[in-house]
Amino acid sequence: PYASYWFPLEILSWSPTTDPDALYNRSGVDLKSKYVDSITIVNPNARFNEAKVNPLSAFAPTSNNPSQGSLDINYYTFSYWQYTDLLVLWGGSAGEGLILAPNPTIIDAAHRNGVRILGNVFFPPTVYGGQIQWVVDFLQKNGNTFPVADKLIEVAEYYGFDGWFINQETVGGNSQTAANMRDFMIYIQENSDLEIEWYDAMTESGAVSWQNQLNSQNDWYFQWGDTLVSETMFLNFWWNSTGLNNSRTLAQSLNRSEYELFAGIDVEANGYNSSINWSAPFPNTLPHVTSLGIYRPDWCYNSSSGIANYYDRSSIFWVGWNNDPSNTTTTSSWKGFANYIPAFTTILEVPFVTNFCTGQGYDFYINGEKLSYPELSTTGWNNLSLQDVLPTWRWIVQSSGTKLT
């Protein structure tokens, strides 16, 4: 079975009763509660109850993406959930499909760690094959209903994920397109408990024009009078300090939190070697200005030379060059997210049991007995449904003697 993806007209005919893979795409894990307070903050720079972190991560191709893992150890087994508030399954292409539901394996791992996960709706720029007709199909109405919105609700509720990320970057729309998109999102809010994240691309005129801030050109996709339109907004990457501060002021004037705005950073090409103006969202010793969105932190995996190197890159990326979230001191401008964001945990009761499984390996044991399956020893396996809740802090080693490694 494979994870689901559709064009707008295709999703209208989807039903779990006729899709043979639907059962295998359902998550079995409810969203867990998570906890943090001032006494659990291990880094003196991290601020409590302020900015949140939202990765946009690709885990596999749009098509032929196995629902239940595969016999291949090589997979992006993201595991730094403790710094993450919300995750978007990134993907979609003009040649395959525009609407992607997350694999149940990723939903399971996210929910086990108290992280909400959104499916992706991607209308690509025309240079990448985008067609305005797909937007028209998406926003079609039948009386007072939006048929595609009803299907988005049905898919998310059946599969067990938390909502949708909507990114409309296809040119050719007008003010009516923009108003229809706003009303489409309001319709989902009124007819479900799902949440929506809007990407800063199409403006209220229907033109595609990245604002890089919340302003009068895009604020009705966030809040329209007394009506909530989207729970969060991902601001495009070319922001500056003035724009983020203005975004905070406007969000507050709309009776919304500035931390529901995610200032996007693009790390797809260079990862922790990216040049980021950290002081704009995270001014030193002052409250955070907005939250932070991360486009393609799967760079840690995609740029790696192997699994061990992937783990090393992930540690630097998330907790810094010392591999210690309590000590992010470095001459590098990249200090790791542990420098700004305290770790959350879903470990709220005892006993707590873990096998320290990251969701991939070469061997597999059942009740202590190694499974005899010849392919495993050479290809390995991956399945994020089997990922355990991992240590909250990696790695704080306190010793007066020779430290463990």
> Alpha-carbon distance 261 to 86, whole Å?
12
Q: What's the mean pLDDT in 10-18? A: 98
Flag the least confident range among 11-20, 134-143, 374-383.
374-383
> Alpha-carbon distance 317 to 24, whole Å?
33
Residue 192: which residues within 8 A CB-CB, separation 6 or more? 153, 156, 157
Residue 83: which residues within 8 A CB-CB, separation 6 or more? 53, 318, 337, 338, 341, 343, 344
**Bridge-partner residues for 361, per DSSP?**
381
Residue 394 tokens read as 């990696």
Task: Identify the DSSP state of 85.
Answer: S
Phi then psi for residue 8, to 5 deg, are -55, -45
Average pLDDT, the chain: 96
> Alpha-carbon distance 26 to 5, whole Å?
14
Q: What's the mean pLDDT in 197-209? A: 98
Q: Write the pLDDT tens digit of every residue in 57-100.
A: 999 999 999 999 999 999 999 999 999 999 999 999 999 999 99
Is the pLDDT at 248 greater than 90? The verdict is: yes
| The one-letter amino acid at 262 | F
Residue 19 tokens read as 């899709």
> Do β-strands 195-199 and 223-224 pair in parallel, antiparallel, or remain unpaired?
unpaired
333: nearest Cα among 251, 399, 278, 401: 278
Count other Cβ atoms within 10 Å, centred on residue 66. Answer: 18
0.85 exceeded by pTM: yes
79: nearest Cα among 33, 115, 31: 115
CA-to-CA dists, residue 50 to 27, 177, 287, 294, angstroms? 30, 34, 7, 17
For position 200, what pLDDT does the model report? Answer: 98
| The one-letter amino acid at 104 | P
For position 40, what pLDDT does the model report? Answer: 81
For position 64, what pLDDT does the model report? Answer: 95
> Alpha-carbon distance 93 to 64, whole Å?
13
Is the pLDDT at 375 greater than 80? The verdict is: no
CA-to-CA dists, residue 30 to 90, 130, 392, angstroms? 21, 35, 20
Asked if residues 165 and 127 have their Cβ atoms less than 8 Å apart, the reply is no
> Do β-strands 232-235 and 195-199 pair in parallel, antiparallel, or remain unpaired?
parallel
CA-to-CA dists, residue 63 to 90, 117, 137, 257, 405, angstroms? 13, 19, 21, 37, 40
| SS3 state at 121 | strand
Chain-centroid distance, C-alpha 300: 15
Is the pLDDT at 405 greater than 90? The verdict is: no
Q: Write the pLDDT tens digit of every residue in 320-370.
A: 999 999 999 999 999 999 999 999 999 988 998 898 999 999 988 889 999
Residue 84: which residues within 8 A CB-CB, separation 6 or more? 53, 54, 55, 113, 115
> Alpha-carbon distance 390 to 245, whole Å?
36
> Alpha-carbon distance 221 to 201, whole Å?
11
**Bridge-partner residues for 122, per DSSP?**
167
> Do β-strands 291-295 and 5-6 pair in parallel, antiparallel, or remain unpaired?
unpaired
Q: Write the pLDDT tens digit of every residue in 22-70.
A: 999 999 999 999 998 888 899 999 999 999 999 999 999 999 999 999 9
> Euclidean distance between the first and final Cα of the chain, in Å?
40
